Structure 1
Amino acid sequence: MKKYQINIQGMTCTGCEEHVAVVLENMGATNIKASFWKGEAIFELPEDIDVENAKKAIDEATYQPGEIEEVTSQEDAVLGEDRDYDLLIIGSGGTAFSAAIKAIGYGAKVGMIERETVGGTCVNIGCVPSKTLLRAGEINQQANVNPFVGLWTSAGSVELAPLVKQKNELVSELRNQKYVRLIDEYGFDLIEGEAKFIDENTVEVNGKQLTSKRYLIATGASPSLPTIPGLRDVEYLTSTTILELKKVPKRLTVIGSGYIGMELGQLFHHLGSEVTLMQRSECLLKEYDPEISKAVGQALLEQGINLVKGATFERVEQEGEIKKVHVSVDGKQKVIESDQLLVATGREPNTDSLDLSAAGVEVGPQKEIIINDYAQTNNEKIYAAGDVTLGPQFVYVAAYEGGIAADNVIGGLNRKIDLSVVPGVTFTNPAVATVGLTEEQAKEAGFEVKTSVVPLDAVPRAIVNHETTGVFKIVADAKTLKVLGVHVVAENAGEVIYAATLVVKFGLTVEDLRESLAPYLTMAEGLKLAALAFDKDVSQLSCCAG
């Protein structure tokens, strides 16, 4: 028997999956797994049956067969030679656990190596702690700044130490629930210590050598430092250490205004700090559409956050507890003073201690591990996934890639990583959410582009909230009106963007959005209004007129 994978267009539901399975079974295939959302089928055929017959059968069933390729069987994927493990994973974050759980499901013997705390960045020092503190900051800000007349609210000074203690308790609880508890439940080995490759088959941990048939490197990334004279000589904070402060600083300077800098800067502004965000670029969020950048900048300025754009960083120095950042802006020298300095200028892969050269694994210019479409490095025995590859820095992307790696390295499925539709959210207030192509990216890809832009003051939910700084933008193919990208600045934009992700992923059109019912007085109604705005002035419509 040989196993094959075939791409299929035209499947739209589970009924289509069953139909494809039946036609393949009728022509002699077995162990059939069809997936309409992946657009593929995996099956086995006796060697005396021509695989081209599968294409013919699918075509006759009115689906469109695409590329077909033979995939390694599971028995071949987990090699027969004697090793300590079938899969040894270095790292214990979302990538690692996703891969381990899948590999265990295939019957593999799995080990996981962790040098610090189980759970990786997201639950310990990233998503979970930052988002719970962001929510606390929002509540404090709402108590201090209330847009409703006749409603009197106030807030005292923030006691940060008990708030951080509560945050740490939540982190500990979720780490145990979502990570530590699963180790025994799934039955893989946790090996505590730092891993270092001895050769392509062997790693050393705490002086002990371990062997594995296959490896997955999932060591993530850490905050990086820019090259600014004097920076390493002062007391600075990173996205990790700032979440452990016990006192709200009177003044906070943030070098870098990407999503991490904006989220943490706004957090401390909401807690009572005077915050200055600084960046080299003249444009805030320069990789986004200009309407998005403008709306975010307007919101931050309205809230009282200081923005310094187009800065050339000359040097950083410290006098007593005061940090001084010397910059040049438009040829003029400035000195920004603060009690605390946060450096949020990106992240770098955790690869230095692995001795990847011993295993012959190639890395890129930023020490990121280079992988192919199947999560495999140039060494066929070693895979990598998640932030260590410097792909999109989202835990859900990392977990997805970890699952793909396990399917390939243990399951032998030859699944490709598909990051063509990845939603992203910045959890500021208003939030920023985006999926698909920007207008510029769509034009660079050769599309004739048509766009609609609806300011948030045209969205009823925003009007009743008295929070109308923001925007909805849809980027579409001018010829077919297929939606290519959606970009939102609004409260709860992160909740809205999942619907937009489905629109982009499944190739829906502006007309599809127009014809769909949108619940009134939800922020998601902005999607429909943006669709209507392609040929209507939505400010001239009555409520629910669409």
Structure 2
Amino acid sequence: MTSSSQTHFDLIVLGTGSAGQSVATSCREKGWSVAIIDPLPFGGTCSQRGCDPKRVLAGAAEIIARSRNLKGKGIVSENALDWSDLMAFKTTFVEDIPESTEEKFKEAGIHYVHGTASFTDTNKIQVGEQELTGGKILIATGAKPATLDIEGEELLMNSAGFLDLEKLPEKIAFIGGGYISFEFAHIAAEAGAEVHLIHNNDKPLKNFDPDLVEALVDSMKKLGVNFHLNTKTEKITQSGDLFVLEAKEEGKSLRLEVGAVIHGAGRVPNIDELDLEKGGVEADKKGVTVNEQMRSVSNPGVYAAGDVSGSPGLPLTPIAGLEARAVTANLLNEGNKTPNYTATPSVVFTYPMLASVGMTEAQAKDSGKDIKVNLFDMSGWYTYKRMGEKHSMAKVILDKSDGSILGAHVLNSNAEHLINYFTIAMRHGLTAEQLGDTLFAYPSDGSDVQYLLELE
């Protein structure tokens, strides 16, 4: 905590992730007195316990997969992962974040507090022995792993724990069929572990295109990942250094002895410790209930941004930044800025990568629009054949009436780039014809885009 007896601030921010930091520093630059509070190491989830360290590990796993694809095609032998070396490399990206974040607050003159915050009144926050009063309050506390109501749930390791594993277990299980489980399962499998992924229905990665998900699952099965779909985990117990997972798979008993069981079954808004009722702040399972300007519908002095807000935005870091910019504008200018969520891309960083933006095929059909669905197996295309990729697909959904791009879905090693091309076009209203007319460097992933945009 900075040494200050001050207890009243123009703005109190709860959470030091990307949204909280952005609003706090922007308001401080305009002369506001600002306090920021977080019980966890400063810097937020994405940079320390989520996207960034995960991508370091995923990048190494990708190299293994790429070299294997070209084995016998010029590459003599595939590489191998050294887990401890990889984790040491990962640590170089995260170890300085809490200290550097604190230093940034100190230099900016932001009053920072390490501790758990809770409301005591509509404009008052209790943290430790201190009660702070805020002219405005921003809730940016992010999300946390959902409670699963499994016997022995306390034995589960969360995603942060996986990202800090000093030694990778020989056998590991992931509960949940979302992107966290898929990404970690791929990393663990490429690192040589026996991997089991357990999901309670037959539709993993439910927000992504099912045809491409099926192809990704097939790819990961070939890698050795064991999928247990329509499987309900019932109990976890510890037996020495191992954990015993008991489940029902298609009605039959499943028993796995593994070195770790990882929670990858979704996250929920991190609001339980905030005493929102005392602050007059309404919330539901989606998070703090906000209007289009990110202001609490029940307490006009309170805003929320990022994963904790009940906004229509996806729980992604770029959305936290988008909402934070809207909050900042509305605080400083007393404006009515609303976040523009048009064309929000999301990527599953497996190998191949799975990426999506806009409508799924089912959503487009339900919209009543006259649509054209282009589905391509691109594994034989030059771009992917030269890299030995056996799984490369794209599905692009177009509106026949005006040529607009309604959705794009990509599965391959270049999905993160291709999805961004489509995102730019969709966000700025480019038609299929206009995007297809764009000159991309050849030969590159971009030079293939024109062939994905057939309207006839």
The alignment's TM-score, normalised by the length of structure 2, stands at 0.92
Could you tell me whether the CA contact under 8 Å between 1:83 and 1:213 is conserved in 2? no
- Following superposition, the deviation at residue 150 of structure 1 comes to 4.4
CA contact (8 A) 1:102 1:407 kept: no
Distance 1:192 1:264 in 2: 30
Contact 1:255 1:343 (8 Å CA) reproduced = yes
Equivalent of 1:194 in 95, 116, 120: 116
Corresponding letter in the other structure for 1:259: Y
2:89 equivalent among 166, 176, 182: 166
1:123–1:175 contact (8 Å) kept in structure 2: no
Equivalent-residue separation in structure 1 for 2:10 and 2:425 (angstroms) = 39
Q: Partners in 1 of 2:34 and 2:333 — Cα distance?
A: 13
1 or 2 for the larger relative contact order (CA 8 Å, sep ≥6)?
Answer: 2
How many Å apart are 1:223 and its aligned residue? 1.5
1:403, 1:226 → 2: CA distance? Answer: 34
Q: State how far apart, in whole Å, the 2-side matches of 1:240 and 1:291 are.
A: 30
Distance in structure 1 (CA, Å) of the matches to 2:107 and 2:381: 47
Change (3 A) 1:455 1:359: same
Q: 1:492 aligns with which of 414, 419, 426?
A: 414
Give distance in 1, aligned partners of 2:7 and 2:175: 48
Q: Write out aligned runs for 1:108-257 (5 A).
A: 108-142=32-66, 146-155=70-79, 158-173=81-96, 179-232=101-154, 235-257=155-177
Q: Counterparts of 2:192 and 2:344 in 1: how far apart (Å)? A: 34
Q: Give 3-state SS (helix, strand or coil) of 2:386's partner.
A: helix
Given the alignment of the two structures, is residue 370 of structure 1 paired with residue 370 of structure 2, yes or no?
Answer: no
Structure 1 residues 86-109: Cα deviation after superposition (integer angstroms, max 9, x where no partner): 111111110011112322343322
2:378 aligns to what?
A: 456
How far apart are 1:277 and its partner, in Å?
1.1
CA contact (8 A) 2:66 2:387 kept: no
1:416 and 1:151 mapped to 2: Cα distance? 51
* Offset, 1:326: 2.6
Q: Which residue of 2 aligns with 1:411?
A: 333
Cα contact 1:159–1:247 (8 A) shared by 2? no
SS at match of 2:283: coil
Query: Take 1:93 and 1:394, find their aligned partners in 2: how far apart are those partners?
Result: 12
- CA deviation vs aligned residue, 1:472-502 (integer Å, no higher than 9, x gap): 1111112222101111111131122221111
CA contact (8 A) 1:376 1:383 kept: yes
Q: What code does the residue aligned with 1:196 have?
A: S
Give the Cα–Cα distance (whole angstroms) in 2 for the partners of residues 405 and 459 of structure 1.
45
How far off its partner does 1:510 sit? 1.7
Helix, strand or coil: the match of 1:153?
Answer: coil
Counterparts of 1:219 and 1:151, CA distance in 2? 47
What does the per-residue CA deviation read over 1:369-427, in whole Å, with 9 as the maximum and x for residues that have no partner?
A: 11111111120001111111254121111121112111112221210122232111111
The one-letter code sitting in structure 2 at the alignment partner of 1:359 is G
Contact 1:249 1:339 in 2 (8 A): yes
Q: Give the partner amino acid of 2:123.
A: N
Q: Is 1:443 aligned with 2:362? A: no
Q: In the superposition, relative to structure 1, how do residues 303 and 521 fare at CA in structure 2: closer, same or farther (>3 Å)?
A: farther
| Secondary structure of residue in 2 paired with 1:237 | coil
Out of 277, 287, 297, the residue aligned to residue 357 of structure 1 is: 277
SS at match of 1:137: helix
Q: Matched residue of 1:393: which SS?
A: coil
Corresponding residue SS for 2:253: strand
Q: Paired residue for 1:107, among 27, 31, 36?
A: 31
RMSD of aligned residue pairs (Cα, Å)? 2.2
Contact kept in structure 2, 1:141 and 1:271, CA below 8 Å: no
Displacement after TM superposition at 1:519 (Å):
2.5
Contact preservation (8 Å) 1:492, 1:523: yes
Range with greater deviation from structure 2 (385-394 or 478-487)? 385-394
2:69/2:387 contact within 8 Å kept: no
Q: Quick one: structure 1 residues 459 and 174, their matched pair in 2 at CA, closer, same or farther if it must change by over 3 Å?
A: farther
Cα gap change, 1:148 to 1:520, in 2 (>3 Å): farther
Could you tell me how far 1:431 is from its partner in structure 2? 0.8
SS at match of 2:10: strand
Structure 1 or 2, whichever has the larger Rg, is 1
Task: Mark the CA change 1:194 to 1:127 in structure 2 (over 3 Å): closer, same or farther.
Answer: same
Contact 2:49 2:160 in 1 (8 A): yes
Give the counterpart of 2:182 among 262, 265, 271: 262
Are positions 1:477 and 2:399 aligned together? yes
Identity of aligned residues (%): 29
Q: Please, which runs of 5 or more residues in structure 2 have no aligned partner?
A: 1-5
Number of positions where the alignment pairs a residue of Structure 1 with one of Structure 2: 448
Going from structure 1 to structure 2, the CA distance change for 1:120 and 1:150 (only over 3 Å counts) comes to closer
Q: What SS does the corresponding residue of 1:342 show, helix, strand or coil?
A: strand
Residue identity matched to 1:369:
V
Partner of 1:375, secondary structure, is coil
> How far apart are 1:181 and its partner, in Å?
4.3
* Residue identity in the other structure for 1:478: K
1:191-245 deviation per Cα after TM superposition (whole angstroms, max 9, x unaligned): 222212111121122211211110001111112231223333xx32110111111
C-alpha separation in 2, matches of 1:448 and 1:134: 39
Give 1:56's aligned residue: none
Tell me the SS of whatever aligns to 1:244: coil
* SS in structure 1 at match of 2:442: coil
Contact 2:16–2:36 under 8 Å retained in 1 = yes
Q: 1:242 to 1:182 in 2, by over 3 A?
A: same
Say which of 92, 102, 107 aligns to 2:16.
Answer: 92
- Detail structure 1 runs of 4+ shifted over 6 Å in the superposition: none
8 Å CA contact 2:41–2:98 kept in 1: the answer is no
Match of 2:3 in 1: none
User: Cα deviation per residue 1:138-173 (whole Å; 9 max; x = unaligned)?
Assistant: 3345556643434323545x5433432332222124
Normalised TM-score (structure 1): 0.77
